[in-house]
Structure 1
Amino acid sequence: MNSVRIIGGDYRRRVLKFPDSEGLRPTPDRVRETLFNWLGQELDGWHCLDLFAGSGALGFEAASRGAARVVLVEQAPKVLAALRENHEMLQKPAAMTIIRADALQYLASTNAKFDLIFLDPPFKKGWIARLEPLLPGVLNEDAAIYVEAEQPIESLGDWRTVRHGRAGEVHYHLLRRDTGGKTA
């Protein structure tokens, strides 16, 4: 089994274990640290969606930092089992829901609205382009999108990249809704 640790909040230093699985790339500690510096260290009251949960590092990190609701969506049975074991190890945080589903089907069928979506799909499979039209239907007006991709992303619909970085071959981005050219 592989492992990754939670870096902040109530579950800091707890270790999440997960199996090898095609396309599974856990977000490294330093990238997660950067992301939560961008977002703020606490996510009190936020509703978060980890659409390609994989190791669960992003979703568990959000729950650790006070998110009111975190939905982890995963399709691979072995990976899903590890997510459930990690949820159990953390004594089943009530804010967390783990769902076995296809990402497209989940987005098309849910009525839930989120403040933050973690979007880290397998690379080179066209996932981001397929998901983009469905994102507005599940995002609150002032929601943020975090995306990991094999190339830089300028925008997804009305959401524009406001922060970005690179770790090896991975480009990571924080996107916020374009407010129609309002200036400060």
Structure 2
Amino acid sequence: MTITYRSVKGSNLTAAEVDDNFHDVDDRITELEDNPPEPTNISNITVVGTQMTIYLEDATVFGPFTLPQAHFRPSVVATVGTATFTPGLSDANCYKLCSNAGGCEVTLSDDADVAWLPDTEMTFDADNAAGLVSFVGGSTDVTVEPPTGFLAQTAVQGAVVTAKRIGANRWRLIGLLLEDVTA
């Protein structure tokens, strides 16, 4: 049965023609419900770096799509054996084991000197056999912010402190810091 179109016929449809049209559409829907078509399945998925491509059995290709990824925090442990240390971009998101027996002064550079990324972190460990680690800004524009009542210095040997960039030329210190007893 075929559908009768009013525009093709050139006049109004009769009641029988309208019923035939509905019957034809109902038959087609019933056929699809009883015998659904086979889907085209995925044959392969490839991922190269952060790019994913989906291949179907009929050779259709979707992608590449960029996959979301977590912010990578490398667990690189490096030793700093000097009395002073000025970290650079390669030190971002790293763990520094400060081993100088006399301690280590960490200078956090001005954003004009180092293109720090937002949310940069650097962790410093006052190694058990070493002196304490202190933190200073590389210029008057750099603010090093320990919590209220604490100094910008590790409290004891073995203490761990993270310097987190929280804004332009702003570094917040998080960890076991020396209490400010003069306040």
Q: Same fold (TM over 0.5)?
A: no
Which is bigger in relative contact order (C-alpha 8 A, separation at least 6)?
A: 1
TM-score range, shorter chain: under 0.3
Structure number with higher strand proportion: 2
TM-score by length of 1: 0.21
Point out the structure with max Rg over C-alpha. 2
Structure number with higher helix proportion: 1
